[in-house]
Amino acid sequence: MLDKIIIEQLETLAGKNNVLTSKVDMVAYSYDATADLPRQSPDIVVFPTSAEMVQEIVNLARRHKIAIYPRGAGTNLSGGAVPLKKGIVLSFQKMDKILEVDAANLTAVVQPGVIIAALNAAVSPHGLIYPPDPGTVATATMGGSAAENSGGLRGLKYGVTKNYIMGMEVVLANGEKVRFGGKTVKNVTAYDFSNLFVGSEGTLGIITELTAKLIPAPKYRRTMMGIFKTLTDAGNAVAGIIAAHVIPATLEIMDRMTIRTVEDFAHIGLPVEAEALLLIEVDGMSEDLVHTEAEAVMQVVKDNNGDLKAAETDQERDQLWLARRNALPALASLNNTVVLEDATVPRSRITDMLIACEGIGKKYNLTLGTFGHAGDGNLHPTILCDKHNLEEIGRVHQAVDEIFKVALSFGGTLSGEHGIGVAKMKYLGDELGQSGLNLMRSIKESLDPEYILNPGKMVPLQEN
Amino acid sequence: MTTTEKSPVTPGGKTYHDDLAIVREELDKCMKCGNCMSVCPVYGAEKLETSVTRSKIAVAEAVLDGELELDDPQVYDMLFNCLVCKSCMTGCPTKVDFGRIIVALRAALVRKNGLPWLKKMIFSTMKHPKLFDAGLRIGAAMQSLAFKSDKTGKAISPRSPFALVGGGIGFDGDRQMPALNITPLRERVPEVVNADNAWMKVAFFTGDSLNYFYPDAGMDLIEVLTANNIEIHIPKAQNCCGVPVLVHGDIETVRTLARNNIDAFDKTGCEYLITGCGSCGGAWQHDYSDILAADPVYAPRAEYWAKRTYDISTFLTRVITLRQPKGRVERVVTYHDSCHLKKSMKVFAEPREILKSIPGITFKEMSAPDACCGSGGSYVLSHYETSSIIGRKKIEDINRTKADTVSVGCPACMMQLLDNVHRGGEEQAVVHYISLLAESYRKEKN
């Protein structure tokens, strides 16, 4: 429990309306969207309304050594928003203004609480888009997705959040406010701070403003589906599409388990005997170019023994997308707990990784389906289990350990888009080695020596 | 999505209404993904995690685990800060039936603490239709003391001393409500309304809102059916559908109301039950079979009617083919999807088909037509501020269409929209969509 005096001070500097302390409220901020993690209630939730207010809160927290957890919508998948060591949840839901849309410079300046979809709605009249599209675009905030460096379905062609953050205002653990980057495409002034704070999961500083890059919305698109009898054919098709120098906006894959589950769930006419399915979308500003790319993709699918479905209308496109949209809901319907990983491998190892995941599922006798972003090697091995069955949960943990091990052995990485948080922290050394862990710690300690910012995430606390 | 799965019944004959532990499996389905944040109207207005569905589920889990007390006043407040609009069920990837969860929670609260005296008084009157009817009639006769009429005589606003008292709950002098009509619908018509060359008969469940607040819309519904040569049975013994009581957790009262209604409609010998209100229709389609699941006598009857209940628009376009209207109705019309009509009864295409088939009507779709209007029955009274924020957004969407008429298929939304049009609208008419069809049929005769 926080000292009454500290609560009163927070109420004074944030306003009583912007502070929550009841037990029920604390339960509501004790989790994020990560499965299989214990909940932890904070002591207090504060809704700042300005960067200056954030500074004052940080100064107060530092004086009393109270932890602070910046929070957007709480939709992340690695435990990043769980207040592990109690303290202050700093919820940015009330800093949700789009400050500027600058169509001439293709930028937008936003407060961290702006929902991604709201930014897209605001820039669409200018014919522009903000491309990063994690599955949570309708709920997640810009601040949260920048802190988590979230990805999405268009990563292959359009990149991820870090490619679209041009500047920031950040409040540091020492209470100072710093601004860097801006509207210029080129900027090599000083260190590349944006890339340090994007993906820092709230452990290095608190984002209070963002300058985001926008691009013209593609005018044309074609959507196709390839259905394959073997994983090898599907993997070869992915490689073939890239070899044909087509970079699709979307290149998604689903394994047999996922296909069957989706079909049982949604009855949309998927071939349940297929081993893999690719959903491919090409887009661009010129109809000719999109047409040519679509033709090339279709040829590759055929060359690799795939059955092809191509959408001619928006309605047919929606039909093709139904399979992918239902992947997670369908798998999730199989049991009460969804352990959704995001181990990522180089594109050329997609087939190997899919086969390995299937094997791991069998080895530990688990229900495991894999789908994901074949184009960028970011797969989602998804384990469906019963959280009340501790023996099974034990096997899930072993399987997850093995999935990461395999991904790293293929030259991949622990996380493509969900982040490290608490969920994957113990594996960090396997990828970075001791020197990498040392670098993490020295960066953390130089910016937040007292571990008041989102403690226990990314860099383990040294408890003695 | 409303679960079509049958409500689980324990060996001891309990449903989730009687034992909170039964919803555990439903709670387990929630991944806390937060998709409900994008559709929950209360969250949209308040932007608090405690406003949204997933946190109510987390709190329910904490209650079942003994970490929170169900009758903690803050738990109580949180559980009642929900419109029961079921919007969260539309985008839920794991199809959590939050409609069942919230009712189970509120029922558990009532079991533990009893009903607040005011609710107790109102709900117990509802079990005695004659008493309830008398109460509303006294209200009708007295309303001129407390409320002033507008120029049409169909809408009223509180007079000043009452406005002062009621200001905090939205009964300020600006509030508009439908006038309580002196002659309720069911007294304007006989129990059986004959039609020329009748080739079919249906039973009409009026619900309280069409009976007491919008009897003209009820008359329009009857007129449309007779214009299609259908005989209508309107049992006088029917009472409130029970939804307003159900969402407050007074389960035994709802069971009584449901059994009364089933008895009344069994006697009609009809095979179709027609409603003009999404909440009433949803009660017959889903809630009655849920609450009576353990009742050996009434469970099969509830199931029988669940399959035979139709919103008037579905009946006109899917069961029969309505006689094409020919009279011109020169209006620019938009349509608001009532939550219970769309999210519980899955009715959204049919009213639009009807509206578009009426000569003279220019149909304009508003953005987010299925966003809740903020009514939630009594929610508008208990949470007036949040309800107003939700309602204002709806009115802005309506204003942008430039429509002169807002059509809707649920009387509770009509009340909310009437008040909000008065506050922030552009004098749009608020009508039940069936009234526009009736208007077209009437104009054929001129």
The model's pLDDT over A222-281, given as tens digits with 9 standing for 90+, comes to 999 999 999 999 999 999 999 999 999 999 999 999 999 999 988 989 999 999 999 999
Task: Report the distance separating Cα B126 and Cα B254, nearest Å.
Answer: 9
When divided into structural domains, chain A yields a total of 4
Please say whether the beta carbons of B402 and B396 come within 8 A: no
Measure CB to CB from residue A23 to each of B32, B33, B68 and give the nearest one. Answer: B68
The whole domain housing A188 covers: 96-216
pLDDT band at A117 (very low <50, low <70, confident <90, very high): very high
* Most B-contacting residue of A19, A20, A24, A262 (CB-CB within 10 A), to test interface: A24
Considering the domain architecture, whether residues A210 and A226 belong to the same structural domain is answered as no
Chain A residues in contact with B44 by the CB 8 A cut-off are none
Contact A139 B62 (CB under 8 A): no
- The CA distance from B37 to the nearest CA of chain A, in Å, is 6
Which pLDDT does position B138 carry in this prediction? 65
Asked if the structure places residue A461 within a domain, the reply is no
Together in a domain, A142 and A106: yes
Per-residue pLDDT at A369 exceeds 90: yes
What pLDDT sits at residue B177? 72
Contact residues, chain B, for A32 at CB < 8 Å? 32
- Is A24 within 8 Å of B50 when comparing Cβ atoms? yes
- Per the prediction, chain B carries an average pLDDT of 90
Inside any domain, residue A457: no
HEC profile of chain A = CCCHHHHHHHHHHHCHHHEECCHHHHHHCCCCCCCCCCCCCCCEEECCCCHHHHHHHHHHHHHCCCCEEEECCCCCCCCCCCCCCCCEEEEHHHCCCEEEEECCCCEEEECCCCEHHHHHHHHHHHCEECCCCCCCCCCCEHHHHHHHCCCCCCHHHHCCHHHHEEEEEEEECCCCEEEEECCCCCCCCCCCHHHHHCCCCCCCEEEEEEEEECEECCCEEEEEEEEECCHHHHHHHHHHHHHCCCCCCEEEEEEHHHHHHHHHHHCCCCCCCCCEEEEEEEEECCHHHHHHHHHHHHHHHHHCCCEEEECCCHHHHHHHHHHHHCHHHHHHCCCCEEEECCCECCHHHHHHHHHHHHHHHHHCCCEEEEEEEHHHCEEEEEEEECCCCHHHHHHHHHHHHHHHHHHHHCCCECCCCCCCCCCCHHHHHHHHHHHHHHHHHHHHHHHCCCCCECCCCCCCCCCC
Report the pLDDT value the prediction gives residue A341, as an integer from 0 to 100: 93
B59–A24: do the CB atoms touch at under 8 Å?
A: yes
Closest Cα of chain A to B86: distance in Å?
Answer: 18
CATH number at A102 reads: 3.30.465.10
Nearest CB neighbour to B75, from listed A24, A117, A336: A24
Residues of A in contact with B49 (CB under 8 A): 25, 28-29, 74, 91
Q: Cβ contacts (< 8 Å) between A21 and chain B: which residues?
A: none
pLDDT tens string B365-374: 999 999 999 9
Chain A residue set in contact with B, beta carbons under 8 Å = 20, 22-25, 27-33, 35, 39, 73-75, 91, 93-94, 96, 117, 136, 138-139, 328-329, 332-333, 336, 338, 387-388
Q: Indicate yes or no: pTM above 0.95.
A: no
A64-78 per-residue burial string, b: 16 or more CB within 10 A, e: under 16 = eebbbbbbbbbbbbb
Residue B156 has pLDDT above 80, yes or no: no
Encoding tokens for residue A253? Answer: 């894959």
Per-residue pLDDT band for B276 (boundaries 50, 70, 90) equals: very high
**Which DSSP state fits B405?**
E
Contacts of A139 in chain B (CB under 8 A): 34-35, 37-38
Q: Which CATH number fits domain B332-445: 3.30.1460, 1.20.1260, 3.40.50, 3.30.70?
A: 3.40.50
- Please say which residue of A93, A108, A123 terminates a domain: A93
Question: Would you put residue A79 in left (φ > 0), alpha (ψ -120 to 50) or beta?
Answer: left
d(CA A416, CA A350): 13
Order of strands, edge to edge, in the sheet holding A88-91?
Answer: A19-20, A44-46, A88-91, A68-71
Q: How far is A26 from chain B (nearest CA, A)?
A: 9
State the best of B49, B67, B94, B397 to mutate against chain A, taking most chain A CBs within 10 Å. Answer: B49
Nearest CA in chain A to B75: A24
The type of residue at B315 is: F
Distance separating alpha carbons of residues B127 and B241, to the nearest angstrom: 11
Contacts 24+ apart (CB under 8 A), B300-307: B301/B262, B301/B266, B302/B258, B302/B262, B305/B262, B305/B265, B305/B273
Closest to A252 in 3D by CA, of A154, A329, A118, A166:
A154
- CB-based contact A24 B78, cutoff 8 Å: yes
Query: At B114, is the pLDDT very low, low, confident or very high (cuts 50, 70, 90)?
Result: confident
Is residue B28's pLDDT more than 60?
yes
**Distance, in angstroms, between A337 CA and closest chain B CA?**
7
Minimal Cα distance from A116: which residue of B? B38
Q: Which of B47, B59, B93 sits opposite A94 (nearest CB)?
A: B47
Q: What is the pLDDT of residue B153?
A: 59
Kindly list the residues of chain B whose beta carbon comes within 8 Å of any beta carbon in chain A. Answer: 25, 28-29, 31-35, 37-38, 47-50, 55, 58-59, 62, 67-68, 72, 74-75, 78, 93-95
Tokens of A444: 């953390």
Same domain, residue pair A123 and A212: yes
Q: Which residue of A has its CA nearest to B54?
A: A28
Contact between B28 and A138 using a beta-carbon 8 Å cutoff = no
The β-bridge relationship of strands B230-233 and A367-373 is unpaired
Does position B3 have pLDDT exceeding 50, yes or no?
no
First to last CA, chain A: 22
Contact B81, B390 (CB under 8 A): no
CATH of B189-319, one of 1.10.20, 2.40.10, 3.40.50, 3.10.450: 3.40.50
CATH of the domain at A353: 3.30.70.2740
**Minimum distance, in Å, between the CA of residue A415 and any CA atom of chain B:** 19
The answer to whether B49 contacts A387, with C-beta atoms less than 8 Å apart, is: no
3-state helix, strand, coil in chain B (%, to 5): 55, 10, 35
Instruction: Show residues of chain A in contact with B75, CB under 8 Å.
Output: 24
Query: Which pLDDT score, from 0 to 100, does residue A456 have?
Result: 95
Last residue of a domain, one of A37, A62, A93: A93
Report, as an integer, the average pLDDT of B64-88.
Answer: 93
Using the predicted structure, report yes or no on whether residue B163 has a pLDDT greater than 60.
no
> A–B: how many Cβ contacts below 8 A?
77
Most confident range (mean pLDDT) of A370-379, B72-81, B130-139, B301-310 is: B301-310
Task: Please state, in angstroms and rounded to a whole number, the distance separating the CA atoms of residues A380 and A257.
Answer: 13
* pLDDT class of B130 with cuts at 50, 70, 90: confident
Chain B residues whose beta carbon lies within 8 Å of the beta carbon of residue A93: 47-48
Contacts of B62 in chain A (CB under 8 A): 27
| DSSP reduced 3-state for B109 | helix
Q: Under an 8 A CB cutoff, do B74 and A25 touch?
A: yes
Q: Is residue A67 part of a domain?
A: yes
CB–CB of B49 and A91 under 8 A?
Answer: yes
Superfamily grouping for domain B20-114: Alpha-helical ferredoxin (1.10.1060.10)
First to last CA, chain B: 44
Q: In the 8-state DSSP scheme, what is residue B187?
A: H
DSSP at B224: H
User: What are phi and psi for residue A414, nearest 5 degrees?
Assistant: -65, -40
Q: Which of B33, B62, B68 faces A75 most closely, judged by CB atoms?
A: B33
Band (pLDDT 50/70/90 cuts) for residue B172 is low
Collapsing DSSP states into helix, strand and coil, what is residue B123?
helix
End position of a domain, from candidates A178, A196, A216: A216
Percent of chain B with pLDDT over 70: 89
Please report whether residue A463 resides in a domain.
Answer: no
Determine whether the interchain pair B34/A39 forms a contact, defined as Cβ–Cβ distance below 8 Å: no
Q: A277: domain CATH number? A: 3.30.70.2190
Residues A164 and A129 in one domain: yes
**Closest residue of chain B to A114, computed from CA coordinates:** B47
pLDDT at position B67 is 93
| Listed range (A404-413, B44-53, B163-172, B334-343) with the worst mean pLDDT | B163-172
User: B189-319: same fold as B20-114?
Assistant: no
- The residue among A27, A44, A145, A388 with the most chain B CBs within 10 A of its CB, best to mutate, is A27
H or E element, residue B380? helix B379-382
| Among candidates A22, A35, A94 on the partner chain, residue whose Cβ is nearest the Cβ of B31 | A35
SS3 B431: strand
Task: Please determine, for residue A290, whether its predicted confidence score (pLDDT) is greater than 70.
Answer: yes
Interchain proximity B93–A387, CB inside 8 Å: no
The per-residue pLDDT for range B286-310, each reduced to its tens digit, is 999 999 999 999 999 999 999 999 9
A402 and A386, same domain (yes or no): yes
Residue A415: which region, alpha, beta or left (left: phi > 0; alpha: psi -120 to 50)? beta
Rounded to a whole number, what is the distance in Å from the CA of A291 to chain B's nearest CA? 33
Q: Is residue A462 part of a domain?
A: no
Crossing angle of helices B349-357 and B433-445, in 10° steps, is 20
Least confident of B126-130, B320-324, B353-357: B126-130
Residue of A nearest to B69 (CA): A24
| Phi–psi pair at A278, nearest 5 degrees | -115, 135
Residue B408 pLDDT greater than 60, yes or no? yes
The answer on pLDDT for B155 being more than 90 is no
pLDDT the model gives residue B2: 40
- pLDDT, residue A100, reads 98
**Residue B120 pLDDT exceeds 80:** no
Whether A455 is covered by a domain: the verdict is no
Residues B133, B238: Cα–Cα separation, whole Å: 12
Average of per-residue pLDDT across B327-339: 97
Average pLDDT on B300-322 reads 97
CB nearest to B95's CB, from A27, A29, A333: A333
- Spans of all domains in chain B: 20-114, 189-319, 332-445
The ipTM, to two decimals, is 0.93
Nearest to B31 by CA among A74, A379, A257: A74
Check B35 against A138: CB less than 8 A apart. Answer: yes
Contact residues for A309 (Cβ-Cβ < 8 A; gap 6+): A224, A225, A227, A320
Q: Across residues B121-139, what is the average pLDDT?
A: 72
State the Cα angle at A241 between A238 and A247, rounded to 5°: 105
